[in-house]
A and B are shown apart, each in its own frame.
Chain A
Amino acid sequence: MLELTVYGIVYGSIIALGAIGLTLIYGILRFANFAHGDLMSVGAYIALFLIQVVFPLLGVPQERFGGTSFGWPLILAMPISAGVTALIAIALDQMFYRPLRARRASPVILAMASLGAAFIVRNLIYIFWGPDKINYFPGLYRPAWQLPFDVRIRPDELIIVVLAMGLVALVYFFLQKTKLGKAMRATADNPDLARVTGINTEQVRVWTWGIGAALAAVAGIMYGVNALLYPEMGWGFLLPLFAATILGTVGNPYGALVGGLVIGIVQRISTAWLNPAYQPAVAFLVLIVVLLVRPQGIFGGRS
């Protein structure tokens, strides 16, 4: 059971990273981004491209660090992939979502548009990489460390958790201490007043998408490192992501962290009794319970 919890924390950290991005987009831009899972996929696959194709050409050293499964290529790939994914998300927004919003499209139409975008992105992945499962570093033996209480954890997994926590802290500082971060929080509170106040809503928009997508990309890469890549990987995250976001209250990044961890742990623990294939259904169950019992989430104020 303890081991399952630990795995749940690792998996939950990945969900949390994705959920933070989703909750920012949902809270600040009032937009249910059904393409968020696929943004994770995009991040993972772009990193794959960099690692498999670009870096060997550039002569980047391939040795691994210590007991981990990766080396410099992954470290370098992460920020680059995050940046590219951010650009893709911003482009999608400028091309599709913004014009729709200008036409006062309902939230449902926007969600439908994001479904369309998700579909397009997923098929692009299918086209360029095919439907097979791929590993970042194929044929690797990945030893696990033995921790007390009979828990085995790989160095990779530890790094995932540390990275997630670190990024959350970074987002926290950004939102609390910087002018743009405060403007984002203000826009989440009251988008109309933000406009009236003179806040540059366009800047807020672009940065929200950028940060959200970048975090999603890192989450996707982390998942790829810990497991493997396949085109549907992002779609499979959609339910856990939304469950975590809503559980932790939409718009609240720290809530998304808590929500992600909870969903991750619950999903992994459920495998003690249930067929592991049902984990997404478990996440969905949590989501339904939250929506019925406390739709404003853990940290939500008003009902």
Chain B
Amino acid sequence: MARILVALTFAVLGGWLCSFFGGGRKRLGIALVGAVLVGVATILAPREWVTYLLAPVITASLYAVLTLGLNVQWGLTGLFNIGVAAFFAVGAFTSALITKEMPTGLAAEYIKQLFGLNLPFPVGVLGAAAVCGVIALLIGLLTLRLREDYLAIATIGIAESLRLVFQNERWLANGPQPLSGIPKPLFCLVEDPPCAWLPGFVRELVAPLDSRDYDVILLVLLTLSLMVLFWLLQRVTWSPWGRVLRAIREDEAAASAFGKNVFAFKLQAFIVGACVMGIGGALFTASVSTIDFGLFHPMSYTFMVWVMLMAGGSGNHKGAVFGAFAIWAIWMGTTFLSDAVVPFQFKTQVFYVRYLFVGVLLLAILLFRPQGILPEEKGQH
């Protein structure tokens, strides 16, 4: 049962990613071929391989959400935000706090948090988006009037400041200690018996799943979320609102000469992008039950997301998603290689060599193919 779910999801994902290439009628064909190939491969492949692949695909999907958010800010509107990791972290912590319960008894000694509402996961997601949106609003009001390079510095500063707050204020989210005990959404699907609120036949379908198969549930959840988010953002991009944003990115002076309140539009784009990143953070907490501010390191998140966006194709959502999967695939590839090839004593060094490689990759992209792999679509979708 689990295998079928995974195969289906992989197939959908694979087909969808393939559909990014090619135009017009060919797209559907490529998508179907891709989907079938991936699906069949998943059914036939050895169990360990499939399990091994689950985690990277989940992570790549998370990155894809972040990259989509950044694309709204950078690709669509031209805002240079180096604080991606901060919004991601805020989203994650907010969702965690909303969905957790307040610790009692002995646990209260070890885990300190501002609040714990023990609400269902969707509320956590919405809460994450809302809080990120509010923070983006405040930051935007302060900084979006600045020149682009000053804006970049400001976003670095904000990200650093937020990081310091989370790191040092114990009462907020357990400070330097990890925040554990975050409930996983839809976990009841793999429990025995499965969720009470599901109709009978569905409960029978999911009965064979056990807690080890939770990652599969997560995979489905994330893929669905990603695709829904993508679809929403595509609608938004090709709306009149999106067109104004693109005009602003091309030539701000001309746009404001047309009477558009450039600042308001930039602010809205900044907020939307931040909300998407916050959602990414909330989804992240679904995949781990413990988070720690140290996880949200600028190297891992901000820099990676930027490379993903520039590599995949800045300015278009397909590029964002594709870039996320492509770069993460390369990253996993280097992990695999280094695990297999490099002797034990160089393990730590190799870790940094891989990051080094990512840095070189970014510079190479900027030099040789700044528009990324999937160039921006012009005209109507």
User: Complex Cα distance A119/B93, Å?
Assistant: 27
Q: Which residues from B are CB-within-8-Å of A7?
A: none
What's the nearest-Cβ distance from chain B to residue A21, in Å? 16
Let me know if A96 and B80 touch, CB within 8 A: no
Considering only residues 241-283 of chain A, those with a C-beta below 8 Å from chain B are 242, 246, 275, 277-278, 280-281, 283
A151 close to B (CB within 8 Å): no
B299 close to A (CB within 8 Å): yes
Contacting chain A: which of B94-102, B263-271, B361-369?
A: B361-369
Let me know if A109 and B149 touch, CB within 8 A: no
Q: Which residues from B are CB-within-8-Å of A109?
A: 366, 370
A6 close to B (CB within 8 Å): no
Q: A107-B149, A109-B370 are in contact. Are A117 and B161 (CB under 8 A)?
A: no
B244 close to A (CB within 8 Å): no
What's the nearest-Cβ distance from chain B to residue A103, in Å? 8
User: Complex Cα distance A117/B356, Å?
Assistant: 10
The contact of A123 among B150, B164, B359, B367, by CB within 8 Å, is B359
Q: A111-B149, A288-B142 are in contact. Are A119 and B156 (CB under 8 A)?
A: no
Contacting chain A: which of B7-15, B199-207, B347-355?
A: B347-355
Let me know if A287 and B153 touch, CB within 8 A: yes
Q: Which residues from B are CB-within-8-Å of A242?
A: 153
Q: A108-B149, A113-B366 are in contact. Are A288 and B359 (CB under 8 A)?
A: no
B160 close to A (CB within 8 Å): yes
How many A-B pairs have beta carbons closer than 8 Å: the answer is 113
Q: Which residues from A are CB-within-8-Å of B366?
A: 96, 100, 105, 109, 112-113, 116
Q: Which residues from B are CB-within-8-Å of A291?
A: 143, 146, 150, 154
User: Complex Cα distance A112/B149, Å?
Assistant: 10
Q: A32-B149, A108-B148, A119-B355 are in contact. Are A113 and B363 (CB under 8 A)?
A: yes
The contact of B363 among A116, A238, A281, by CB within 8 Å, is A116
* Interface size grouping (class) on chain A: 35 or more
Provide the main secondary structure of the chain A interface. Answer: helix
What's the nearest-Cβ distance from chain B to residue A243, in Å? 8
Q: A119-B303, A277-B164, A278-B164 are in contact. Are A127 and B349 (CB under 8 A)?
A: yes
Cβ proximity bits B300-317 to A, threshold 8 Å, 1 near / 0 not: 000100100010000000
User: Complex Cα distance A130/B82, Å?
Assistant: 25
Among B80, B142, B165, B363, the most chain A Cβ lie within 10 Å of the Cβ of B363
Q: Which residues from A are CB-within-8-Å of B148?
A: 106-108
Q: A123-B356, A242-B153 are in contact. Are A108 and B80 (CB under 8 A)?
A: yes
Q: A32-B149, A120-B363, A278-B164 are in contact. Are A115 and B157 (CB under 8 A)?
A: no
Q: Which residues from B are CB-within-8-Å of A239?
A: 153, 156-157, 160
Let me know if A288 and B353 touch, CB within 8 A: no
Q: Which residues from B are CB-within-8-Å of A115?
A: 82, 303, 306, 362
Let me know if B80 and A123 touch, CB within 8 A: no
Let me know if B160 and A281 touch, CB within 8 A: yes
A76 close to B (CB within 8 Å): no
A126 close to B (CB within 8 Å): yes
Q: Which residues from A are CB-within-8-Å of B150?
A: 246, 291, 295
The contact of A284 among B152, B161, B168, B360, by CB within 8 Å, is B161
Considering only residues 153-178 of chain B, those with a C-beta below 8 Å from chain A are 153-154, 156-158, 160-161, 164-165, 167-168
**7 A-B residue pairings within 8 Å (CB atoms):** A32-B149, A32-B152, A112-B310, A126-B349, A239-B156, A280-B161, A288-B143
Given contacts A108-B152, A116-B362, A120-B360, 5 further A-B contacts (CB under 8 A): A108-B149, A112-B362, A116-B360, A119-B355, A119-B359
Interface of B with A (CB < 8 Å)? 78, 80, 82, 142-143, 146, 148-150, 152-154, 156-158, 160-161, 164-165, 167-168, 299, 303, 306, 310, 348-349, 352-353, 355-356, 358-360, 362-363, 366-367, 370
